[in-house]
């Protein structure tokens, strides 16, 4: 029976490179594979799936967060590969789950498990609940040799503490981190914010006394 797979990892863990390698292997054997990604992921172009290594391929299907999949386009496939699956809605994940039975086609989803605040993305949460197979794509921490588990969002050399869950970016904005360094970078950012606030208060007080 065809299965639903969720292969997750932090930023920079070569998830997309893995996806492109799987697509290449299917096509080398003369099999039909479809590459799917969320429409909102326009980092490398509206219809491009690209890894940080520079390898890329055109997406065959772009999906809106709550757009039902066109099942007729998915018939006769040997595999469906999904990039950035964390951005898909729960109903789309549920439809992918059904396709493994209704069409007998395996679906392999790649994506982040959690956001920069360690919270599950809705799509990833549903995949963790429904997938037959859950695999971690591993990479080491940006700051040490421990396994990276979390994603730090960075700005001007400091970790970002608050903000929207979805903010597109690549190496210039996100780095993988172990828990020790994830926590340490957030503490460093909080100290910097407190020091900046203290300087601002001192400046306002000095200005008021003049």
The number of helices, as runs of H, and strands, as runs of E, in the chain is 4, 11
Catalytic site includes residue 90: no
Contact between 92 and 67 under an 8 Å Cβ cutoff? The reply is yes
Contact between 59 and 12 under an 8 Å Cβ cutoff? The reply is no
Sort residue 54 into left (φ over 0), alpha (ψ -120 to 50) or beta: left
Q: Which of 56, 72, 84, 185 is catalytic?
A: 84
Contact between 143 and 182 under an 8 Å Cβ cutoff? The reply is no
Q: What is d(CA 74, CA 6) in angstroms, rounded to the nearest whole number?
A: 19
Per the DSSP assignment, residues forming a β-bridge with 158 are 155
In sequence order, the 6+-apart residues with CB closer than 8 A to the CB of 160 are: 116, 152, 153, 154, 189
Q: What is d(CA 170, CA 12) in angstroms, rounded to the nearest whole number?
A: 8
Which of the residues are catalytic? 84
């Amino acid at each position: 029976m065809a299965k639903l797979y969720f292969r997750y990892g932090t930023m920079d863990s070569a998830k997309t490179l893995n996806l492109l390698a799987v697509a290449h292997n299917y096509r080398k054997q003369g099999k039909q594979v479809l590459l799917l990604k969320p429409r909102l992921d326009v980092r490398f172009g509206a219809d491009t799936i690209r890894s940080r290594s520079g390898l890329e391929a055109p997406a065959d299907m772009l999906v809106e967060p709550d757009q039902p999949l066109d099942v007729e386009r998915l018939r006769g496939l040997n595999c469906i590969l999904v990039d950035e699956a964390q951005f898909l809605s729960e109903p789309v994940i549920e439809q992918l789950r059904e396709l493994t039975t209704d069409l007998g086609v395996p679906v392999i989803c790649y994506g982040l498990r959690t956001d920069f605040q360690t919270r599950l993305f809705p799509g990833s949460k549903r995949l963790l609940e429904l997938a037959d197979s859950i695999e971690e794509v591993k990479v080491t921490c940006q700051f040490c040799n421990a396994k990276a588990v979390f994603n730090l969002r960075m700005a001007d050399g400091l970790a970002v503490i608050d903000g929207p869950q979805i903010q597109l970016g690549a190496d210039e904005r996100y780095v993988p981190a172990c828990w020790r360094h994830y926590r340490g970078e957030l503490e460093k950012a909080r100290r910097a914010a407190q020091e900046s606030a203290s300087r601002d208060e001192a400046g306002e007080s000095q200005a008021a006394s003049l």
